Structure 1
């Protein structure tokens, strides 16, 4: 349904806040595949409500939507005359997830506040004057003149291609995970030139986040790893790859640990950077659970066949009987190996948890 891509009452489409014990202490529903949430200095939340093609500001206490920015209301031709054609993609909100807004970042300038918004399907990052948008009870909201900076152009992949998570840097420049170009770039805010680029000699895949760390290095979330890169030498000096399936975002915490959110794996966890072990997690690994279930299904199916044989059911081929027996053994061994690895890793993680609780 183009007007309503998901059921607003679906409890899965939500943003939640959890405490250290894993209890949900706050949530908001009625969203559509939200990709990013950021707390504002006043306690409100900015949410990239992706499949509804919007950024919203939500009152934390009441959960009321105080402001909404949607690219379908922008006259893009007034920003760039090359975007004036009514048939241009920017002017054609023809279906759900048309824009795929996947990130919003907030910055306080001396005299005004800004939102840096990633519009993935536009191949475009825009900076919106949040102060002007919210002035006079949003009377000037979704005005093209409030877009004060942009980088990218639809289909111009020499700039960016289906990017993720643009971030403000301390220098004033903008760091972008240029996902489909398999690189991370730093864009000079004034000149819009690329002044830093990281590809790891072609090893970067579908990267989806890049943040400046407290020490000046860059924390990059790649398609199968999270790495710390020395900004000057571009050397990978730290890496975490365990149990990662399409990690989406990683943030450096005040204590130096790394908080990682996964897309494919289905859970969020905190990694002790000094040991490389998980010290906290929320959720469960969908991929690992699926693997367990597949092993169990093979085991059950082949066990039933083996039971039929032992009960007197005759197979015409000994080769078929042997294949069934081997199938049972292989499934059982795989299950034991994964289970053993999980138990071993669980107890290693618990020791770190105990240390963090009592130190």
Structure 2
């Protein structure tokens, strides 16, 4: 009799939790929200690229009233880096998932049900038509996307190819004019590996370097972000030698799986230090922290940060699904929230190559951590977004967990009852 009573209570409990979960879904606000402090964000429209948790990536241009005035949303795609060119067009890194019949046979070895097309496209601003494109096929979408592109002053385009662990430059005709293969410079036996170490190259289609950013520096060299090595490197354009290293593989006090480093005119590097949940400005020679903003109490897995001319910093706070702008004191003066898994953000009034701004020595650092329990719950919430609808956040996850536990308990009680003939 006691077991039947427990089962009855469990059944009612699961039912009530299911009703509560439904009510949470009905009450959820899946739309975007924006706030702006009267003190003011830096002037200009904002370009936001959205990777998405699925395959509905997009590129958005927001005006100063936070209205979407331009949108690019290619089907079955994720959108990464984007920049506005001098002619007004947008250069965009896009990765599109393809069905197997559209894939070459040599890209169906690992995942025979699909492949991807990594694309760099220049879009006419008015018509959104593709006026220039460079693309290649790769195996599957996870860790094989094209993350960054950069149009050079001579019209060539610099690209990082994460899936093949390389960086390269193509001209307007699509011919490769420069190429840097990580295996020749980072693998075991190389000078870098002997001095700094780093993960061994496992070969095949595994995620070895996760190279995610390329920028041409004022001295003509290329700056590359090698995420899985926790380093930002400077590569001599002529010799292809690594001439400077910021960070150290495995030393997460400096960098931990970073994204989108941004070299300032004063020689420091502003980096979205993703796994450390912060944005950090580092001395490019000594790795000394000049300025930082973050901690799980402020940011969760940021992946882009730009220092604006007035000293404000524009930050993509990815797992909090928002873009924020903070002032010199670390106060949020603008935010755009509710966009699912943003990747980069640019203030279009600032030239892509203009890195003249206020150094971190004149800014106030801010770092706020959370307790380990809350941090773990927030991490679970972030990972759940890959599986559940966007409205399922921490409260909904707790309700769902209660439903699952209650159901399992109910079934176990039932199984015991059947086994004992009760």
**Could you say which TM-score interval applies, normalised by the shorter chain?**
0.5 to 0.7
Residue 195 of structure 1 pairs with residue 246 of structure 2: no
Higher relative contact order (CA 8 A, sep 6+): 2
Residue 96 of structure 1, CA deviation: 4.9
Residue 261 of structure 1, CA deviation: 1.4
Equivalence for 1:262: 317
Residue 12 of structure 1, CA deviation: 3.8
Residue 237 of structure 1 pairs with residue 274 of structure 2: no
Residue 264 of structure 1, CA deviation: 2.1
Equivalent residue in structure 2 for 1:290, among 393, 396, 419: 393
Cα contact 2:143–2:210 (8 A) shared by 1:
no
Cα contact 2:169–2:176 (8 A) shared by 1:
yes
Quick check: 280-289 or 114-123, which moved more? 280-289
Alignment of 1:145-184 (within 5 A): 146-153=175-182, 157-158=186-187, 161-184=209-232
State the distance in 2 between where 1:11 and 1:97 align: 11
Residue 98 of structure 1, CA deviation: 8.2
Residue 114 of structure 1, CA deviation: 1.8
| TM-score, normalised relative to structure 2 | 0.55
Equivalence for 1:279: 333
Post-superposition Cα deviations, 1:109-150, rounded to whole Å, max 9, x if no partner, equal xxx3121101111111111123xx2xxxxxxxx4xxx21111
Residue 11 of structure 1, CA deviation: 9.6
Equivalence for 2:69: 25
State the distance in 2 between where 1:154 and 1:98 align: 17
Equivalence for 1:220: 271
Cα contact 1:53–1:97 (8 A) shared by 2:
no
Residue 154 of structure 1, CA deviation: 5.6
Post-superposition Cα deviations, 1:171-203, rounded to whole Å, max 9, x if no partner, equal 111111110111111111111111111226542
Which sections of structure 2, spanning at least 5 residues, go unmatched? Answer: 1-53, 97-116, 193-207, 341-377, 382-391, 405-422
Paired residues, number: 256
State the distance in 2 between where 1:125 and 1:205 align: 21
Q: Which has the higher helix share?
A: 1
Equivalence for 2:152: 107
Alignment of 1:82-121 (within 5 A): 93-96=138-141, 99-108=144-153, 112-121=154-163
Change (3 A) 1:63 1:186: same
Residue 233 of structure 1, CA deviation: 3.2
Residue 265 of structure 1, CA deviation: 2.1
State the distance in 2 between where 1:115 and 1:243 align: 35
| TM-score, normalised relative to structure 1 | 0.64
Equivalence for 1:205: 256
Post-superposition Cα deviations, 1:184-227, rounded to whole Å, max 9, x if no partner, equal 11111111111111226542211112111133211011122110
Residue 292 of structure 1, CA deviation: 4.0
